[in-house]
Amino acid sequence: MIRVARRYVPILTTLALVVATFVAGSLAYPNFASAGVVRNLLVDNAFLAVAAVGATFVILSGAIDLSVGSVMAFTSILIARLIEHHAVHPLAAIALSLLAGAVFGLAQGLIIDLFKLPPFLVTLAGMFFARGAAFLIHPQSIGIKHPFVANVLNDQLSLRLPFGERGVSIPITVDIAIVTIALAAVVLRSTRFGRSVHAVGDDESSALLMGLNIRATRLGVFTLSGLCSALAGIVFTLYQQSGDPAACKGFELDAIAAVVIGGTLLRGGIGSVLGTALGVLLLGLIQTIITFQGDLSSWWTRIAVGLLVLAFVALQGQLSKRDE
């Protein structure tokens, strides 16, 4: 029983921190505990949540994907260019960019698997590749003015909740994030693929001896990561209503930070998507508080995130040391 409890220490810590940060914010600033702030917290971090879900799979399998931010930028400029310059229907553009992301992820997985190269090196090259490709599609950002995106996707499909005087509308981007998190949680917990990801990340040789198909698992993980990056790029594009080849530089680090703060072990094997979602919330809350404070520069966010990652990694190190 104690063993089980220890497993949940990181995620419970994150939960406690999320609650504590929110309470502290509410006490320190008037208007902090309002539906509007919570809504913005969700809206501003929807694409981080989607990207972090992909990163959770990769990190659980014991690998790392550094191409996330570049693939997001590639997706966003691809969609914008297709819609605005080639008169492609937004839904078709979205489907095409999802396919592109999945193929890109699969290609990275294949190179890693076939040539036994370290994931961080291959995805580092992938990060360069996707960033260059994004600028090749179009060197500047393109605003999306297609009526379908503004009216249907961003307006009609958003949820209206009866909070406050005028109500709160939850845009489709938040729904996408929540559905992604829920689906990923089910896949990780209750499918053969999800269990293989855990097993491969925990101990690759044991997984091999158990007869698991390690190659298929690894390819699946990287394909899924590419798919999630593309989806995050789509959410980002809907959020910004424009495509930008220079967007999301270094975003993979935020995604990895959210995963680590969410209690996933960086050497793989242990972790959860729900933890990652909490990690995203915590990062968002810190950002919100720094905005509310007003006189703190945004670089304090970087320092806070760095220290949080360090604290969580140290905590995990202590926990796994006691396990040995």
Shortest approach of another protein to residue 256 CB, angstroms?
Answer: 7
The verdict on 156 binding another protein (CB under 8 A) reads no
The answer to whether residue 253 forms part of the interface with another protein (CB under 8 A) is yes
DSSP code, position 148: I
Q: Does 267 bind another protein (CB under 8 A)?
A: yes
Which residue among 166, 297, 322, 323 contacts another protein (CB under 8 A)? 297
Which stretch in 6-14, 211-219, 234-242, 302-310 sits in contact with another protein by CB under 8 A? 302-310
Binding to another protein (CB under 8 A) within 36-55 occurs at none
- List, in order, residues 6 or more apart from 101 with CB less than 8 Å away: 71, 75, 226, 227, 228, 229, 230, 231, 233
DSSP conformation letters of 191-253: SHHHHHHHHHHH-HHHHHHTT--HHHHHHHHHHHHHHHHHHHHHHHHHHHTEE-TTTTTTHHH
Angle at 231 between CA 227 and CA 232, to 5 degrees: 115
Among 36, 132, 164, 167, binds another protein (CB under 8 A): 132
Q: How far apart are CA 172 and CA 244, in angstroms?
A: 20
Q: Is 310 in the site for another protein (CB under 8 A)?
A: yes
Stretch that binds another protein, among 162-170, 196-204, 269-277, 299-307 (CB under 8 A): 299-307
Report d(CA 310, CA 305) in Å as an integer.
9
Residue 323 is a binding residue for another protein (CB under 8 A): no
Name residues contacting another protein, limited to 211-250 (CB under 8 A): 245-246
Amino acid in position 177: A
Count of residues of this chain found to bind another protein when the rule CB under 8 A is applied? 45
Q: Which residues contact 278 (CB under 8 A, 6 or more apart)?
A: 11, 14, 15, 18, 261, 262, 263
Which residues of the shown chain bind another protein in the complex (CB under 8 A)? Answer: 64, 111, 114-118, 120-122, 124-129, 131-133, 135-136, 139, 245-246, 253, 256-257, 260, 266-267, 297, 299-303, 305-307, 309-310, 313-314, 317, 321
